[in-house]
Structure 1
Amino acid sequence: MSGLLMVLITLSLLSCGEKEKKQEEDDKEPQVAEKLDLSSLVTVPPVDAPEGMVWIPGGVFMQGAVSSDKMAMPHESPAHEVAVNGFYMDAHEVTNAQFAEFVKQTGYITVAEREIEWEEMKKQLPEGTPKPHDSILQSGSLLFKKTKSSVPNLYDYSQWWKWGIGTNWKHPDGPESSLEGRENHPVVHIAYEDAIAYCNWAGRRLPTEAEWEYAARGGKEDAIFFWGNDLEQLSSNANTWEGEFPVENLKADGYEKRAPVMSYPQNGYGLYDMAGNVWEWTNDWYNTQYYGQLQAEQQVALNPQGASTPYNATNPYAREKVIKGGSFLCSASYCASYRISARMATSLDSSLEHLGFRTVLDPSMIKE
């Protein structure tokens, strides 16, 4: 059923420019350390990085928006100090070729490909929600569509999203499209459970939000973007929307939609596409009060795992995870979610043409 449920509830979670949400207080306290012993962090790789992965050395950083970031949204604050152990991370987003191998070996069927069960879907909708017509209640995923003219209200996201019946990872631009020539593009139309299934097959996991943001920073402190603070360098470093959104993409970065992985420079840790191209799943539940809780501890949060329960006051039926990195739809005039601290909430069954993932690996997960 993927993103159809999301369409029926609200399209607000599809936008880079979503408003800050009031959240329930999270009752899970992160592991903290009053006086963090840096020697306890894993900073040196115990073995060479597995093929296609890079080592991210453990360390301490400020998670959340930096004070100089004038484009930051409220849910990116307050900034708080975090420590993470070292881990291995995919150098780039999981590609169509990699996901195809997983499907070939397992026979896995993604959420966007499955038949929709209305009896299950309506349990997650407000009571009394009428059943959509059978012509709509078909498997598929969400596709972006340009508008023909300027959009005065950028909070009406239905103006540039449509339900694409027959759209899925194998048909990323609609049922008539294919993966031919796109083997090295990031796989998209991936729901959360699809990403988890791939991780389980590969013996890996999704990154926490803290790990993802720490890795994206690439060792740069107080930087807004992974390359520094100069917005003028955007088109040479990331695949984003440049022009009037959602009317015209000037393609200053060379691409209209998704770009092949590793098309742009790597960051300080050797990671590609940590800004733009496609959004990436993390394992954390979305909770805007969680950052405040961590700051209130006035201590360093050690390997925080995120909130224990999801809640979104503007969409209480949704179960949402944090996604990071922005996509080819992120515009400087609209959301600028190619910034390191940018984040968005997305429901578990959401699948869209600008949402994929990458995996991480703990040293302890490596088999001898």
Structure 2
Amino acid sequence: MNKSFNSHLLIYLSLLTFASLQSCMFGGSRGDQGELVGVPDRESFEQTIPYGMTFVPSGTFHMGQADEDITSSKINLNKQITIGGFFMDDTEITNNEYRQFINNLLDASDTSSDWTEADIMATLYPDTTVWEKDFTYHMGDPMVRYYYMHPAFDDYPVVGVNWLAAKEFCEWRTSYLNAYRESEGQFPMPNFRLPSEAEWEYASRGGLDMAKYPWGGPYVRNGKGCSLANFKPGRGNYYDDGFQYTAPTASYFANGYGLYDMSGNVSEWCEDAFHPASYPVVWDLNPTYFDEMEERKVTRGGSWKDISFYIETGTRSYEYRDTARSYIGFRCAMTHLGRSSGFEF
């Protein structure tokens, strides 16, 4: 075999190798015929409704007061904004649901958990003493003893949980769900989180723009004289709505989005820091007011101890993030991924 033949063979093999590499580089061997078709074999994702949640569709509404500003606070003037679709717990987190969180952390505290038993009991366990500390000269001892631990209160909203603990609950719930999904070879779901103040107000109105209450309004009783929420109907009168303290979740009718107790029962933590002038500052698309230096966090919805003004959809309030109360609880939200116009059930 002469040198000329070897030289030509080497050139031929080089060209063949280059053509093969070129084919791989430009996708010819993958059947895309050189066209831009995206990365093949991507796993599909279908977002399902998490257990205990309901879907709140995208929309535009007027955030702010829906009636007279009787306190002349001028901290919730109307502003038209747009909200993306999301999921929200249809009730407040209950004692028994929160107990699952605590028990799971306690079970893991001796092994892989970052939380020790002492940490859990000091920072995450509901502060049952709030039933005595929140009110002067009040016989709160029975509630201190039984409200969180006794099965009679399993379906009542958890209280005595501060904003920081509510955030930890959301993180745990995310990890708990996605650990299972990973074990099943599924894509993770978006994080559970506290709803923004704007999301909360939008959801509370149930699709009724400028609604004073989740059921529309303007009254807090129906035609038969029955209260439509758990609140304080009058001075010294806590029982006309059927419950002297909190009520079991979903004891009253749901709003148009299938959400219960958006007015009354317990106030609810939101993600936002509280500032009287935050409305003009935040954007008009999915607004959220973040300020890590601000220890006041927004609460919404009013509670069993509040008069009707505080259970209006547009009324703002706050509490310090490290403070637990007998009248503040929370519920979780989750961002919906995909089409913004609606959700395919």
TM-score class, shorter? 0.5 to 0.7
How far, CA to CA, are the matches of 1:211 and 1:182 in structure 2? 29
Letter in 2 for 1:114: A
Match of 2:111 in 1: none
How far, CA to CA, are the matches of 2:122 and 2:138 in structure 1? 15
Which protein has greater RCO, CA pairs closer than 8 Å, 6+ apart? Answer: 1
Task: Give the secondary-structure state (helix, strand or coil) at the position aligned to 1:321.
Answer: strand
Letter in 1 for 2:291: S
Match of 1:142 in 2: 130
Q: Is 2:193 aligned against 1:205? A: yes
The 1:55/1:172 distance shift into structure 2, 3 A limit, reads farther
Write the deviation string for residues 100-142 of structure 1: whole angstroms up to 9, x where unpaired.
1111111277989528xxxxxxxxxxxxxxxxxxxxxxx8643
1:227 Cα deviation from its structure 2 partner: 1.1
Q: How does 1:67-82 map to 2 (within 5 A)?
A: 68-71=67-70, 73-82=72-81
Q: Is the 8 A contact 1:84 1:211 kept in 2?
A: yes
**Alignment identity in percent?**
30
Match of 1:273 in 2: 261
Write the deviation string for residues 157-184 of structure 1: whole angstroms up to 9, x where unpaired.
x8x35799xx9xxx98224654331100
Letter in 2 for 1:63: M
1:292 Cα deviation from its structure 2 partner: 2.9
1:257 Cα deviation from its structure 2 partner: 0.2
Query: What TM-score comes out, normalization by structure 2 length?
Result: 0.68
The 1:72/1:225 distance shift into structure 2, 3 A limit, reads farther
How far, CA to CA, are the matches of 2:73 and 2:196 in structure 1? 20
Q: Is the 8 A contact 2:130 2:325 kept in 1?
A: yes
How far, CA to CA, are the matches of 1:360 and 1:110 in structure 2? 29
How far, CA to CA, are the matches of 1:79 and 1:257 in structure 2? 32
Match of 1:61 in 2: 61
How far, CA to CA, are the matches of 2:57 and 2:152 in structure 1? 35
Match of 2:5 in 1: none
Q: Which has the higher helix share?
A: 2
Q: Is 2:326 aligned against 1:353? A: yes
Write the deviation string for residues 48-101 of structure 1: whole angstroms up to 9, x where unpaired.
4222100000111111102x3354652542211111110000000001111111
How far, CA to CA, are the matches of 2:214 and 2:118 in structure 1? 32
Larger Rg: 2
1:144 Cα deviation from its structure 2 partner: 6.0
How far, CA to CA, are the matches of 1:329 and 1:71 in structure 2? 19
1:288 Cα deviation from its structure 2 partner: 0.6
How far, CA to CA, are the matches of 1:326 and 1:232 in structure 2? 13
Write the deviation string for residues 258-293 of structure 1: whole angstroms up to 9, x where unpaired.
100000000010000000000100010001111133
The 1:176/1:363 distance shift into structure 2, 3 A limit, reads closer
Match of 1:85 in 2: 84
How far, CA to CA, are the matches of 1:307 and 1:347 in structure 2? 15
Match of 1:182 in 2: 153
Q: Is the 8 A contact 1:55 1:86 kept in 2?
A: yes
Q: Residue 263 of structure 1: which of 246, 251, 257 is its match?
A: 251
Q: Residue 252 of structure 1: which of 240, 251, 259 is its match?
A: 240
Task: Give the secondary-structure state (helix, strand or coil) at the position aligned to 1:81.
Answer: strand
1:329 Cα deviation from its structure 2 partner: 0.6
Q: Is the 8 A contact 1:61 1:81 kept in 2?
A: yes
How far, CA to CA, are the matches of 2:81 and 2:62 in structure 1? 6
Q: Is the 8 A contact 1:88 1:363 kept in 2?
A: yes
Match of 1:114 in 2: 122
The 1:254/1:73 distance shift into structure 2, 3 A limit, reads farther
Letter in 2 for 1:236: S
Match of 1:243 in 2: 234
The 1:76/1:142 distance shift into structure 2, 3 A limit, reads same
Q: Is the 8 A contact 2:205 2:216 kept in 1?
A: no
The 1:114/1:217 distance shift into structure 2, 3 A limit, reads same
Q: How does 1:41-52 map to 2 (within 5 A)?
A: 47-52=47-52
1:252 Cα deviation from its structure 2 partner: 1.5
The 1:75/1:260 distance shift into structure 2, 3 A limit, reads farther
Query: What TM-score comes out, normalization by structure 1 length?
Result: 0.64
Q: Is the 8 A contact 2:76 2:316 kept in 1?
A: no
